């Protein structure tokens, strides 16, 4: 997509795309404006559902009830209520306490690299790490982690506007039913045995007239599972890919580990997991020389904003030591990614341990196949060989 983005940024930064039936915003400045402007609404579920036939809509009722509770699809004041309920738990200083747990999960997965000389990094590391971390946060038993992972995959094709495969509604709807049942049980179990984990905190947020309902808690757990899984997996995989494609950068990190946090920011900028975020115009308005009509969809191309040469020097170079990095990979404004501190911590620990335990890593998929999707940016496979 980067060639397309480059052309659009130069020639048509506010582009009406007839097949998407929406505007594509590619410059950093416009992206920032849209994400901070309350006239662009995040409540896009209803317009989206209106494109779906009534038969299918009936089938996915449970699913749509869950999605309607997601803070990311809500505007103020409901957005604020849903976000406030768990925002404290995701503050960087709170997330920092998870360091030992994340370290342990990383080491376990790297132990699994022993006795082999190559793995699909996505299968062996990038996917399972965030699933295990989030399961620990929720207090979910180990034997159910695989279920969580399956559910979030099945939900994804629906939420991420993936090209319609005939069964995507059935899979997403079944996953939503299973998740609702499972997280209701998790909440009940935590009521019986109170624990100081994320589920415990969410239960506290349910107290009082302003508190969350049980359905809202369940939906929030599903959102956190979903929002925190594939995105973090793609950060790890896309990031490792570009490190390996730029051997000087990996050598620089091996010599100087304090470069890792900056390198993670560069990974987020260079090939961020969230390709676009969508908004709906709530009134007719003018942006640059575009007349945007009420109800029209606007796709903010985060990964294009990330290569805007008016903001980033040499935007197409992967530089782990960029002194400042104003990427928008986590979005901007009131919906700025709640899980950013967690994703950053996971990635920093993961790359630090990866470099320590694998003194040699080689890319065996020089031209990986990327998923053809609008919302996310991820690869199908990333085979690496290594010496341990």
Pick 299 or 386: Cβ nearer ligand HEM = 299
Q: Does 212 bind ligand HEM (CB under 6 A)?
A: no
Q: Does 337 bind ligand HEM (CB under 6 A)?
A: yes
Among 339, 349, 350, 384, binds ligand HEM (CB under 6 A): 339
Answer for the pair 298, 325: CB distance below 8 angstroms, yes or no.
no
User: Using CB under 6 A, which of the segments 6-14, 46-54, 92-100, 273-281 binds ligand HEM?
Assistant: 273-281
**Which residue's entry shows tokens 């971390």?**
133
**Phi, psi at residue 167, to the nearest 5°?**
-100, 15
In whole angstroms, give the CA distance from residue 121 to residue 351: 12
Residues within window 30-59 making contact with ligand HEM, judged by CB under 6 A? 42
Among 292, 338, 354, 363, binds ligand HEM (CB under 6 A): 338
Residues within window 153-192 making contact with ligand HEM, judged by CB under 6 A? none
User: Using CB under 6 A, which of the segments 143-151, 201-209, 291-299, 331-339 binds ligand HEM?
Assistant: 331-339
Pick 311 or 386: Cβ nearer ligand HEM = 311
Which three-class secondary structure state does DSSP give residue 332?
coil
Q: Does 22 bind ligand HEM (CB under 6 A)?
A: no
Among 15, 28, 83, 327, binds ligand HEM (CB under 6 A): 83
Shortest distance (Å) from residue 302 CB to ligand HEM: 6
What one-character DSSP code corresponds to residue 122?
I
Q: Does 273 bind ligand HEM (CB under 6 A)?
A: yes
**Which residue's entry shows tokens 């589920």?**
199
Which stretches within the chain are classed as H helix?
A: 2-11, 28-36, 45-49, 54-59, 61-68, 78-87, 92-95, 99-111, 121, 128-138, 145-159, 168-192, 198-204, 214-245, 247-255, 260-270, 302-305, 340-357
Shortest distance (Å) from residue 223 CB to ligand HEM: 5
Other CB atoms within 10 Å distance of the CB of residue 162? 16
Pick 15 or 377: Cβ nearer ligand HEM = 377
Among 85, 176, 277, 301, binds ligand HEM (CB under 6 A): 277
Pick 217 or 338: Cβ nearer ligand HEM = 338
Pick 264 or 386: Cβ nearer ligand HEM = 264
In whole angstroms, give the CA distance from residue 163 to residue 184: 31
Site string for ligand HEM, 345-384 (x = CB under 6 A): ----------------------------------------
Q: Does 287 bind ligand HEM (CB under 6 A)?
A: no
Answer for the pair 105, 133: CB distance below 8 angstroms, yes or no.
yes
Answer for the pair 318, 266: CB distance below 8 angstroms, yes or no.
yes
Among 335, 345, 377, 382, binds ligand HEM (CB under 6 A): 335
Pick 8 or 306: Cβ nearer ligand HEM = 306
Pick 339 or 386: Cβ nearer ligand HEM = 339
Pick 224 or 311: Cβ nearer ligand HEM = 224
Distant-in-sequence contacts of 67-71, Cβ < 8 A, 24+ apart = 67/159, 67/219, 68/219, 69/215, 69/216, 69/219, 69/220, 69/223, 70/219, 70/220, 70/223, 71/220, 71/223, 71/335, 71/338
**For residue 68, what are the contacts with CB-CB under 8 A and spacing of at least 6?**
45, 219
Site string for ligand HEM, 223-262 (x = CB under 6 A): xx--xx--xx--x---------------------------
Which residue in 222, 220, 225 sits closest to 176, CA to CA? 222
Q: Does 106 bind ligand HEM (CB under 6 A)?
A: no
Which chain residues interact with ligand HEM by CB under 6 A?
Answer: 42, 71-72, 83, 134, 223-224, 227-228, 231-232, 235, 272-274, 277, 329-331, 335, 337-339, 342-343
């Amino acid at each position: 997509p980067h060639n397309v983005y480059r052309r659009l940024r130069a020639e048509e930064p506010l582009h009406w795309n007839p097949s998407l039936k929406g505007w594509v915003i590619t410059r950093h400045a416009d992206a920032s404006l849209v994400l901070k402007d309350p006239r662009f609404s995040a409540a896009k579920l209803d317009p989206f559902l209106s494109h779906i036939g009534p038969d299918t809509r009936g089938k996915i009722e449970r699913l749509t009830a869950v999605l309607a509770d997601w803070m990311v699809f809500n505007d103020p004041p409901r957005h604020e209520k849903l976000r406030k309920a768990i925002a404290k738990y995701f503050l960087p200083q709170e997330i920092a306490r998870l360091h030992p747990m994340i370290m342990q999960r990383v080491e376990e997965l790297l132990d699994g690299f022993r006795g082999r000389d190559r793995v699909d990094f996505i299968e062996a590391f990038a996917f399972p790490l965030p699933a295990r971390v989030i399961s620990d946060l929720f207090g979910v038993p180990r034997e159910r982690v695989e279920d969580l992972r399956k559910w979030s995959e099945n939900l994804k094709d629906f939420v991420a506007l993936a090209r319609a495969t005939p069964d995507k509604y059935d899979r997403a709807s079944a996953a939503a039913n299973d998740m609702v049942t499972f997280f209701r049980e998790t909440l009940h179990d935590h009521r019986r045995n109170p624990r100081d984990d994320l589920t415990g905190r969410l239960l506290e947020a349910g107290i009082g007239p302003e508190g969350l309902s049980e359905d809202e808690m369940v939906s929030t757990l599903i959102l956190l599972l979903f929002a925190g899984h594939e995105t973090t997996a793609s950060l790890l995989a896309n990031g490792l890919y570009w490190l390996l494609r730029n051997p000087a950068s990996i050598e620089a990190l091996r010599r100087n580990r304090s470069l890792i946090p900056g390198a993670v920011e560069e990974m987020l900028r260079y090939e961020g997991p969230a390709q676009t975020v969508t908004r709906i115009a709530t009134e007719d308005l003018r942006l640059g020389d575009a007349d945007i009509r009420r109800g029209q969809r606007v796709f903010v191309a985060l990964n294009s904003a990330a290569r805007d040469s008016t903001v980033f020097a040499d935007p197409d170079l992967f530089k782990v030591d960029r002194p400042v990095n104003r990427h928008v990979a986590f979005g901007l404004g009131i919906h700025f990614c709640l899980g950013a501190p967690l994703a950053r911590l996971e990635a920093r620990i993961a790359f630090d341990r990866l470099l320590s335990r694998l003194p040699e890593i080689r890319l065996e998929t020089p031209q990986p196949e990327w998923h053809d999707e609008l919302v996310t940016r991820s690869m199908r496979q990333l085979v690496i060989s290594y010496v341990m």
